[in-house]
């Protein structure tokens, strides 16, 4: 999709200025090479957000300190979500904690990676019948990698890190893009837990446009509920009808 507004373009958003259908897969060789180098560099310098839930926190000190030393993989803890690359969910998530996790996740800059650690994030684990904990993490945010175990040992965590690095290196760790592409579905799952008044200060839809990941699934009936929280600073809560018309005009 082009951003040009001066040159008249066709009404079909899938065409470029020359009315040629845009091939999403098409990439120039130079761009491929640059991406490859960038992915390689990115995978060698990852920061974990220093945020732990549940009991997995106890496995992280040996993982990042001298015994197993994840810094030799280039992985370090980082205190702020805005500078972090990896969000480690280290165990069960209560509904209350999930709110904070989503707030942190949305503040992280792309590309960002989520690792679900322990069986609690996969299917509830030993808290499968608890009313207060969520069961499947990937309903609320896209997950790149799960590390099974209750809890996984530091060796397993290291193995997971290596696998994630491998995925990033190959350009396969793209789960964060699905959050923008299917934001309406993720928001719907979040609203099912937190109620229709749930909203975050992050303008996810504007970010989706910025990253060029905006699809028709980014908005829908769930994002339409955000309309009442609109402000002049946050453009996110545009009602879906208005937004889709705008898309067509572009």
Partner 1 sequence: MSEQLPEVLESVFREIPNLAFEQKGARRLRVKLRADALPALLELLKGRAGYLHLSAISCVDWPTLNEFELVYHLWSYEIKTLVSAHIYIPKKPGRYVSVYDIYTPAAFFERDIHEMFGVYFEGSPDMEPFILTEWEGPPPMLKSFSTVDYVEKTFKWQDYSPEWLIETE
Minimum CB separation from partner 1 for residue 95, in Å? 5
Q: Minimal distance in Å, beta carbon 166 to partner 1?
A: 11
User: Which residue, 96 or 221, is less far from partner 1 as judged by CB?
Assistant: 96
Of 129, 232, 248, 249, the one binding partner 1 (CB under 8 A) is: 129
Judged by CB, which is closer to partner 1: 49, or 98? 98
Q: Which is nearer to partner 1, 175 or 208 (CB)?
A: 175
| CB of 66 or CB of 129, closer to partner 1 | 129
End-to-end CA distance of the chain: 9
Size of residue set near partner 1 by CB under 8 A: 25
Q: Is 155 in the site for partner 1 (CB under 8 A)?
A: yes
Q: Is 228 exposed, middle or buried (0-12, 13-18, 19+ CB in 10 A)?
A: exposed
Residue 95 in the binding site for partner 1 (CB under 8 A): yes
> To the nearest whole angstrom, how small is the minimum distance from the Cβ of residue 189 to partner 1?
9
Binds partner 1 by CB under 8 A, chosen from 55, 135, 202, 247: 135
Q: Which long-range contacts (CB under 8 A, 24 or more apart) does 227-236 make?
A: 229/199, 234/201, 234/203, 235/203, 235/205, 235/206, 236/199, 236/202, 236/203, 236/204, 236/205, 236/206
For residues 32 to 71, the per-residue mask of contacts with partner 1, x marking binding by CB under 8 A and - elsewhere, is: ----------------------------------------
Q: In angstroms, what is the minimal distance from the CB of 14 to partner 1? A: 34
Rounded Cα distance between 137 and 120, Å, is: 9
How far apart (Å, rounded) are the C-alpha atoms in residues 161 and 70? 8
122 is a site residue for partner 1 (CB under 8 A): yes
Biggest CA pair distance of the chain: 62
Q: Which residues bind partner 1 (CB under 8 A)?
A: 95-96, 99, 122-124, 128-132, 134-136, 139, 146, 148, 155-156, 159, 163, 192-195
């Amino acid at each position: 999709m082009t951003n040009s507004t001066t040159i008249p373009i066709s009404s079909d958003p899938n065409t470029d200025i020359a009315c040629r259908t845009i091939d999403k897969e098409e990439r120039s060789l130079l761009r491929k090479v640059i991406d490859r180098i960038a992915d390689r560099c990115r995978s060698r310098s990852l920061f974990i957000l220093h945020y732990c839930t549940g009991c997995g926190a106890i496995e992280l000190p040996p993982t990042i300190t001298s015994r197993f030393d994840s810094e030799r993989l280039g992985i370090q803890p980082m205190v702020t979500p805005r500078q972090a690359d990896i969000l480690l969910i280290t165990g069960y998530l209560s509904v209350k904690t999930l709110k904070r996790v989503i707030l942190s996740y949305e503040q992280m800059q792309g590309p960002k990676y989520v690792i679900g650690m322990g069986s609690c994030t996969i299917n509830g684990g030993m808290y499968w019948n608890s009313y207060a904990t969520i069961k499947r993490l990937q309903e609320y945010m896209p997950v790149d990698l799960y590390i099974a175990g209750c809890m996984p040992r530091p060796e397993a965590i290291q193995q997971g890190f290596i696998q994630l690095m491998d995925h990033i290196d190959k350009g396969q760790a793209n789960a964060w893009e699905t959050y923008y592409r299917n934001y309406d579905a993720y928001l719907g799952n979040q609203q099912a837990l937190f109620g229709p008044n749930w909203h975050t200060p992050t303008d996810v839809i504007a970010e989706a446009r910025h990253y060029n990941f905006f699809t028709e699934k980014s908005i829908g009936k769930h994002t339409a509920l955000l309309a009442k929280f609109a402000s002049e600073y946050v453009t996110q809560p545009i009602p879906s009808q208005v937004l889709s018309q705008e898309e067509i005009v572009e």
